[in-house]
Structure 1
């Protein structure tokens, strides 16, 4: 079965979102991009709408706060994207991650690393975010933007909403690749570059972060990257966390990676809970949405794929509870787990509606700068492609 999962890049979050206005084609010229990371396009992927997010994150010494915000606010951002609609359709989500400006990275490649290419595997995205560490370095903004444009598979659909978010705190002018060249290249390929300066708003303007965003028709934002993420606990949190335990029991791991991926699912629950129980609640909400898909290792999700066939399953790939079972018995087991999951997810979503109303009354909109800056930019730019929330 083909996989739609690829890597994410910390240092840059790029989001690509397919437009629902498929008949309104753009006549913009395209620059040929060199694709260095293989990406298989499945039949499902080719026919569905996508939001693709690419994050380029500065991981030099001064950026510990930025990385912490990205880890702590990932699930809230995912949840907000899960509410997007284009007509009656809910778009899929892919996220890519780059890190740059870290002395541990190869200088010959501009101190840049693709952490993860475009992927819809939210657990893998979380894992890679939590793997990031900071260490000194030179921050080459133009080069990391160019690298992400060349390496990632942005697709050929001119109706896609393609967004780059680059965050850092050094002058935008550093490095051998001009930020002006990179921004113009992005614009020619219908990719919007949004810049997030970690520091004073006016300083970001004077160091050309705003100019970089303007050239690529994106948004410029300045945030306090050292501000701790704030959470609002609600009366519904404990119920949602209890449902998460039930939700995990509906997964039917199979194949060579099934067991390890189920373990990773639990580890990412722990990572979220390590920040706060409220963050763990946000992750649980993400797991109840259409964006949380694990067809590469979970039989319940895999069965929904067009190319899935029970006949292709080998006995060795099955979990112990299904070994020796007939095809009919396996189908019945998976069907039961699907029914349980859908019921649990529906209950989580119902509680989350009440939770969102409670939070909106008790949280300052300016509390979590990275999260709010990204969501504001995404919603503003998505309107041009007829997306609604």
Structure 2
């Protein structure tokens, strides 16, 4: 019997169905079915591994014209949440790993992140602007419970009065309300919670290790009650799959205490294109063809168009309808207020981090 492509099947607690080699690898590995599969034992559970990354810097800067911040911090590389649509997946290829199952099971953390952040914030030429935490992978993914890298970073930001925004799908953010609350009330912190669906079954399949939708709504509620300006991200919007829930998600988030909202239309750059379609054919075979047809209608007939001017929202009638519905919904539910401003004027280098005492420091 000639070998054929292996059947795409799901693994418990994982989003990607396959683990194809990254785009930079000289040799491509692909699973095959040799005909003996029915007699073979099931593969063992895929364990998560965690490796320290000894970085030189912790703040990443970008010049992308369609991103609302120029600096960010990502405490982790890879993300155990396993969201199948995650735009960060292709970054694992830079390390010789797969954007598929490797991305959600072979993780890296920055144990010296807090020390590096102190050094960078204390530099004489540092100019204070908002720092965004979690722009690539979730700062509150499950391994944060033990590693507490994000927690250590927040403690540094609080010492310096460094304003920041943070985004997550995890209820674990509520652990740090003792920092987020006071900083939020002083216009030094703002949070976004991403909610893509209120359907528990879809969420479990699409975002297997992220918090349930109700837990995310509770996180919004607790953040708001603590005085943290909080928004909701309905991202990504997947036409034909979750777009019909836009209004219900925004309404639920507003009732929980969110005061602003954002959305991003599904993006399928590089390896995500194949990973998402494999997942879709396995998890939602009855609607896979229609979903991809609608996605392509937002991208000029292609799976993806990376043009800066439209990559976040898409173009065409389907994208325009999504934008119109979103605009009407945020107005209806009071989520169309001014985006949360942060106060950059209160930034101070703690005295113990200065090379010498400042004679003009008003606190001396």
- Fold conserved between structures, TM > 0.5: no
Structure number with the bigger relative contact order (C-alpha 8 A, sep ≥ 6) is 1
Q: TM-score if structure 1 supplies the norm length? A: 0.30
- TM-score with structure 2 length normalisation? 0.32
Greater helix content: 1
